[in-house]
Structure 1
C-alpha cells in the first residue's frame, strides 16, 4: 500500500490557545505547570485530529512553545554563557530569556537571541550562537517525551528533528570567524543519543529535516551531509531515517543525498515538480520516497486528479510500500481549519484548503492510490469543479487593471533627480538636525484601542464615535512624541489591525479570514490575506488620518504604507499568474496613495518593505530576475513624487550582504534597519557597500521587554558613526512599537532622544 503522512501541524490552536496561555504565563496569571498542561492538551488535540483523518504517519515534536530552532539549541545545550546555564535541564525561564530577553532581572537585563526569517517564509527563528570552542550536551529530551506522550494516547508518531547540518548552517559564530560545520563532530553524539532514546522508546522512524538542501550547497556542506548521516545511520539503534527536504529541489545535492544511508527521502514536488523524474531514475529501489504533492505554503485547494496523473510514473516504477504521499512541507505556514470561515464568500471558500483540509487531501490521494479512483470519485469531482470554477470566475479578472499595467513606462519607476540633489531639497523643506530621531510607525495598541476596534467591528460603536476616539488617540500620541523630543513624528497607526491586513481590506482582489491565524514568531500571529484577484485602489486609504495628525503639529509627520513586495509576500498569493505581475498591480495601487499623501501636504512617506530579502529565491540563479521586478515595483510605487518629498523604507531581521546593489537601486531617501540585536553587525553590509543614501540603524530591540539605557544606545550610535558619514545617520528603534506598552515606550524613546543629542553634541 501507499502510505500517507504529515510533516508538521500548526501548533497555535484554532482559538490561539497557545498565544493566550504563553502570554498569561509571562504576565504571571498562569503557572508553569498550567502552561505545560495547556501545551499538552494542544498536542493531544492535533494528534487525535490527524489520526481521525486517516493519516498513516503522524508527526510529533513539531510542537514548540516558541520556535523549533530554539528548541533544537536547548536540546543540544547550545546556550550562550550570558544566560547563566550551568548544565542539566534548561529551565523555562532560561528558554524564554533566550527568546525574548529579560527586564529587571538581578544582574542586569538580558538581550534575546538574534531573530531572522526561516528561509523564504514569514516565519522567524531564533538564530543559534556558536563559539569556536562550543561544546554540546543533551539538555532536553523533548523529542522523546512528546513521542511517549503520543504513545500513551495510542498514537505511534514519527518524531521530527531539525537536521544537524541545517541547524549549524542556520547559526552564527561569535567571538571569531569560523565555519560552523567544523562543530559537526561534537554535535553528532547528541543527535545520536536522541535517536537511540527514541528507538528505545519504540519509535520506528524519525524525520530529520534538512531544509538547507534547497540552497546552493558547496563541497563542505555536501561532505558534512555524508559525515552526519553516515554517523547517525550507524548510531540510530535501528531507527529508520526519513531525510526531509522542502522549499525547493535538491539540485546539485541530488547525487550526494541518494548516496546517504537513510531509509527514506522526502521531496517537495510543489516547489520543484521537475525533480521527480530525475529521482525516480537514480534512487535505489529500497529507498522510500515521500512525495510532497499538497502545497504546505499556500491555501489553494489541490487539483487532485492532476496530482494523481503527475505521480503515476512513481506509482508504476516503485514498490508502493516504499511510497508516501504528504504535503510539500510542514503545515505550520497555513491556517488551521477552513470550516471556521463561515463568513467567507462561498465561491472563494470553495477554492481554499487550510491545514485540516490539506491533511484530508493527502488521505484522499492515498485512498485513490490504494483503492482506486472510483473509491473517492466524489472528492475528485469536487476538486476538479472547484479548480475549474476558480479559473473562469469573473471575480478574479479586472480589464481596467490590465489596461493600466500595459501603460506603465520605465520613467514611472524613476525619481526625477539623484539622491544628492533630493537630499538638499528635503533638508531645506524639513529642517531636521543631525542624527534626526523618529520611530518606525506604530505605537502601543492598548486594550482600550483593541476594545474600541472590536466594538466598532460589531456595530456597538458608531463610525463617527470610533473616528473621534481614534483622533483623540492620535492627538495624545503626537503630544507624547513632541514631549519626548522626536524630530519626525508618526500618527501611531491606531486604526490599523495589521500592516498588511489594513491595506488589503481596502484594496480590491484581497479577501480576509476571521480565524486564519499563522505564527510569525513566538506569540506574534498574523492573518495573511488571500490575494485572489486583480488589485486596484478604490479610494484613498491613509490620507485622512495622516493629514489630521500633521494638522496637529509643526513637525513633519510621516505617511505610513506597506510596500508592494511585502503586501505580496505576506499574503497567500494567487497562483494563476506570475508573482511579478501581481506585485506590479499592487505597486500601481500604492502609487496612487503616495500621490494623494503628497497632495495632502505630507512631506515624508515611509513605504515599508521588510519582506524584500525574505522573497529572495533560495537558489542564486533565480535572484536577478526576482530582484529586478521587486526593485521595479518599489520604485513604481515611490517615484511619482517631487524631490522635496522624502521617501523612507524599513527592513528588519534580514541578511542584506548579498542584495546590497538591489537595496541601493530601490533609491529610498532613508532606510531604517534592525541592528540592535546584532549590535550593529547588520550595518556592515551597508558600510562595505558604501551605501549612498541615509540610514536609520535601529538602536534598541523593541521585541524585548526592557528599556535600554542612554549609554547603550549612544555606544551603538558611535559604532554607526565609525562606519557611516554622520549626515547619513537617523536614530530610531528596530521596528514598530504596537506590541509594547506606553510605560515601556516613553522611557525608551526618551533615552533614545537623549542618546541622539549626545552624539549630536559630540559630532559638532
Structure 2
C-alpha cells in the first residue's frame, strides 16, 4: 500500500509565488532581462524544494509537475511549443511567457475560464498556429525538481484530451499533431521520474462521440509504449458507465479514481491496470476525514479486486484548491485539515490499514468526528420562506431605459499600498476604527471624483473598505471563521482566502449601510452599491458537507435579504448582487442534476431581491463558459441588468441571440486583467457588432473588478470606454 497525492499548493507558505512573480513583472530591481530570469528561477526553485521536502517526509511518492509560473495550462503549452499567431516566438523566455499571460502592446493575452467547477482560472489555449516542436528549457527546469526528491517521484501533467477540449479552436489535424508532441514529451519525462500522472478531468463532463474517439485513439497509442508508467487521474466525478467503457480497453500502468463516491465498476477496473489509486481523502474541503468510513471503504474495494493489484492511497483531487497548513492560524477548529494535514491523514490511514484500529490514532479521529457532528447542528428556519413562489419584481424603474450604452464598472477599484497599510495597522491595533474609517472615506471620495471626471454614468465607491468581496461579508457574519493565512491559488499570481462556515449563521450588524450613506452624501450622480450573492459566498467558502449546501445557502440568503432591505430604506436605486460563482457551483454533468441545482440557486437569488420594486437590480457573472441551459435559468433571475464577461463576445452574442433574455446586458468591453489597452475604435467596433445582433439595452463596463490592477493601468481603458459609449449614442441618434 503506497501513499501519494495528485498535487500540492504551489503558492508557497507565505505567498512566495506572488511576491516572486510580481517582483519580476514590476522590475523593482533595474537589472538586465537575463539576470531577472535567473532570479525568478532561483526563487521558484526554493518553492519547489519546500514542496518536495513536505511530501518526502510523509508520503511514499513525491508529486511534481508542470509548475504554474502564471498558469499550469500555459506552462503545458510552452512544453508543447504551441502559440497563437499573435504570440509567435522564435525561442522561449519568461518575458515572453508573461506577455502571453498578460498581454503586451497590441497583443491580447489568452482568455481565462474556470477550471471544472473550482475558483481556479486557467488560460484558454488557442490553436490557430502550431510552431515547430521543440522541448524547451521550461520542461527541463521543471524536471530539475527531481533532484530535490530522495524517494520515488511522479510528474503530473494535464492530459491531451482535456487540453484539447478546453481550447477555443478544435480541428482533427491539430489534434493529431498535438498527440505526437505529447508522446515526445512523455518519453522525455519518463527518463527522469518513476511515474507519469496524466490528469483527465474532462471525463467529469459528458463527452460526445468525437471526444470519445480522440480519447481512445491517444490512450491506445501510448498504451503500446511499454516502458511508460502512466497513471491516468480522473477526479471531480464518480466512476460512471461512460468512464468505465472508455478505460476498460486501454492498457496503462494505473488509474486514479475518486473512491469516496465511486461504487460501481471499481472492482472490474482491476483487470486492466497494474495499480489503482484510490482517492480516499477529500481534496476540495478542509474538514478532517472519517477514518472509520474510509477504512471500511478501502476494505470493501480491496475485496472486489484481484489480489495481485497494487493499491495506492491518495487525495480525491489535487490539494491545490485548499490552503497549505493550519500551523499559521491563531484560532483553529479541531476538525479542520489543510493540505499538509491531509498528507498526515493519508499516512495515518495507511497505518490503520496495515496495523489495525487499536492504537490511539483511530480513537482520536472517532471522537473528533462525533464532536463535529454534534457541534451546533445547523437548524434552518428560512427554507420555507425561500421555497415559496416568488413573484416577478415590479421593475418600473425606467431611468436607465431612456438611453442606451450606459457606462459603469463592476464595482471595485485598485487597492493601493496605502489601503493595505491602513488595513494592517488596524489589524495590529495601531489605529482605531474611526481613524481607519475616516482615512478610507477620503480614498473613496478621490475614487468617486475620478469616476465623475471621466464621465461614468453609474458611480460606485470602489469597494475600498473591502479586502475581498466574500471575506468582507464573512467577517460580519457569526458562524464563519476567517483565516489568517489560508490562501488558495485563484489565477496567475493572485490568491484568495476562503472563509470556513462551521455553525449557524447570523448577521452581527449592518454590513454596508454606513458606506452606502457615505457614498450617497458625496455625489449627486446615480450610485450603485454591491452585495455579494448567496451562491458565491457559499461556493467561495468551505462549508460543512455533513449539513448540506442548501440549508447553509438559505441562511446566507436570509442575511443578505436583511442587508438589501436596509439599502432599500436608504433609497439606493441601483443594487448589484454579484454571482460570479453561479456557473462553477453547478454540477459538471447530468441534465437532471444541473436543472435541480439551478432551480434552488435561482430561488435563493430571487429571495434576496424579492420586494425591491422600483429599484434596478444588477448581477455579474464572470469567466465562465456559458451554455444554453445556463442562459435558460439565468434568464429567470429577478434582475434588470446582467453583466457578463465579454472577452469572447462572439460566443456571448450567439448565446443571447438563441436565448432571449428580458434584461439589460452589461458587456465586458475589455479585459481588465490585461496590460493591453484597447483603443476607442476597437471598443466601438465590438459594440456595433453586438448592437446589430441583440436588441437588449446595452451597458458598458470592464469584464471584471479592478481591485488587483494599478491606477495607471485602468485610467486609459476607462476613458476609452466612455468615449466609445458617447460615439455609440451619437451613431444611434
Q: TM-score range by the shorter chain?
A: over 0.9
Aligned to 1:385: 367
Question: 2:190 touches 2:229 (CA, 8 Å); kept in 1?
Answer: no
Q: Deviations over 1:17-68 (max 9, x none)?
A: 0100100100102521111111111111110111111x11111115321111
Distance in 2 between residues matched to 1:755 and 1:536, nearest whole Å: 44
Gap change, CA 1:3 and 1:472, over 3 Å in 2:
same
Distance in 2 between residues matched to 1:136 and 1:382, nearest whole Å: 57
Query: Cα offset for 1:268?
Result: 1.1
Gap change, CA 1:292 and 1:716, over 3 Å in 2:
same
- 1:218-617 correspondence to structure 2 within 5 Å: 218-235=208-225, 238-251=227-240, 252-270=242-260, 272-275=261-264, 278-284=265-271, 286-316=273-303, 317-319=305-307, 322-344=310-332, 349-374=333-358, 377-394=359-376, 396-397=377-378, 402-408=380-386, 410-411=388-389, 413-417=390-394, 422=395, 425-428=396-399, 433-617=403-587
Gap change, CA 1:143 and 1:368, over 3 Å in 2:
farther
- 1:8-27 correspondence to structure 2 within 5 Å: 8-27=7-26
Q: Deviations over 1:160-213 (max 9, x none)?
A: 11111111011111xxxxx44553321122121122222333x33211111111
Q: Confirm or deny that 1:196 pairs with 2:196.
A: no
Distance in 1 between residues matched to 2:503 and 2:262, nearest whole Å: 25
Aligned to 1:63: 67
Aligned to 2:697: 728
Aligned to 2:33: none
Give the 3-state SS of the residue equivalent to 1:548 in structure 2. helix
Q: Confirm or deny that 1:118 pairs with 2:103.
A: no
Give the 3-state SS of the residue equivalent to 1:137 in structure 2. coil
Question: 1:513 touches 1:529 (CA, 8 Å); kept in 2?
Answer: yes
Give the 3-state SS of the residue equivalent to 2:700 in structure 1. coil
Question: 1:532 touches 1:573 (CA, 8 Å); kept in 2?
Answer: yes
Gaps of 5+ in 1: 103-107, 174-178
Q: Confirm or deny that 1:74 pairs with 2:58.
A: no
Question: 2:67 touches 2:75 (CA, 8 Å); kept in 1?
Answer: no
Gap change, CA 1:15 and 1:181, over 3 Å in 2:
farther
Question: 2:401 touches 2:697 (CA, 8 Å); kept in 1?
Answer: no
Query: Cα offset for 1:285?
Result: 6.5
Gap change, CA 1:293 and 1:264, over 3 Å in 2:
same
CA RMSD of aligned residues (A): 1.9
Give the 3-state SS of the residue equivalent to 2:278 in structure 1. strand
TM-score, normalization by structure 1 = 0.91
Query: Cα offset for 1:286?
Result: 4.8
Query: Cα offset for 1:95?
Result: 1.1
Distance in 1 between residues matched to 2:555 and 2:464, nearest whole Å: 27
Query: Cα offset for 1:136?
Result: 6.4
> Which segment drifts farther, 483-492 or 279-288?
279-288
Q: Deviations over 1:461-502 (max 9, x none)?
A: 111111111111111111111111111100111110000000
Distance in 1 between residues matched to 2:185 and 2:437, nearest whole Å: 57
> Which segment drifts farther, 323-332 or 305-314?
305-314
Q: Deviations over 1:213-252 (max 9, x none)?
A: 11112232222222111111224x6021101100002321
Distance in 2 between residues matched to 1:453 and 1:560, nearest whole Å: 20
Gap change, CA 1:753 and 1:406, over 3 Å in 2:
same
Distance in 2 between residues matched to 1:109 and 1:559, nearest whole Å: 34
- 1:92-171 correspondence to structure 2 within 5 Å: 92-102=94-104, 108-131=105-128, 134=130, 137-140=133-136, 142-143=138-139, 145-151=141-147, 153-171=149-167
TM-score, normalization by structure 2 = 0.95
What number of residue pairs does the alignment pair up?
723
Gaps of 5+ in 2: 30-35
Distance in 1 between residues matched to 2:354 and 2:651, nearest whole Å: 54
Give the 3-state SS of the residue equivalent to 1:533 in structure 2. strand
Give the 3-state SS of the residue equivalent to 1:350 in structure 2. coil
Distance in 2 between residues matched to 1:586 and 1:605, nearest whole Å: 17
Give the 3-state SS of the residue equivalent to 1:561 in structure 2. strand
Q: Deviations over 1:570-596 (max 9, x none)?
A: 111111222122212211111111111
Give the 3-state SS of the residue equivalent to 1:508 in structure 2. strand
Distance in 1 between residues matched to 2:564 and 2:145, nearest whole Å: 54
Distance in 2 between residues matched to 1:747 and 1:255, nearest whole Å: 54
Distance in 2 between residues matched to 1:240 and 1:435, nearest whole Å: 57
Query: Cα offset for 1:739?
Result: 1.3
Distance in 2 between residues matched to 1:524 and 1:432, nearest whole Å: 40
Question: 1:444 touches 1:742 (CA, 8 Å); kept in 2?
Answer: yes
Question: 2:631 touches 2:655 (CA, 8 Å); kept in 1?
Answer: yes
Question: 1:143 touches 1:160 (CA, 8 Å); kept in 2?
Answer: no
Question: 1:432 touches 1:487 (CA, 8 Å); kept in 2?
Answer: no
Question: 1:222 touches 1:253 (CA, 8 Å); kept in 2?
Answer: no
Question: 1:100 touches 1:703 (CA, 8 Å); kept in 2?
Answer: yes
Question: 1:169 touches 1:180 (CA, 8 Å); kept in 2?
Answer: no
Distance in 2 between residues matched to 1:473 and 1:680, nearest whole Å: 38
Question: 1:242 touches 1:266 (CA, 8 Å); kept in 2?
Answer: yes
Distance in 2 between residues matched to 1:335 and 1:294, nearest whole Å: 15
Distance in 1 between residues matched to 2:708 and 2:273, nearest whole Å: 52
Distance in 2 between residues matched to 1:540 and 1:136, nearest whole Å: 60
Query: Cα offset for 1:414?
Result: 3.0
Gap change, CA 1:282 and 1:470, over 3 Å in 2:
closer
Gap change, CA 1:416 and 1:696, over 3 Å in 2:
closer
Q: Deviations over 1:660-704 (max 9, x none)?
A: 1111011310011111x3244323212221222100101111101
Question: 1:546 touches 1:557 (CA, 8 Å); kept in 2?
Answer: no
- 1:162-181 correspondence to structure 2 within 5 Å: 162-173=158-169, 179-180=170-171
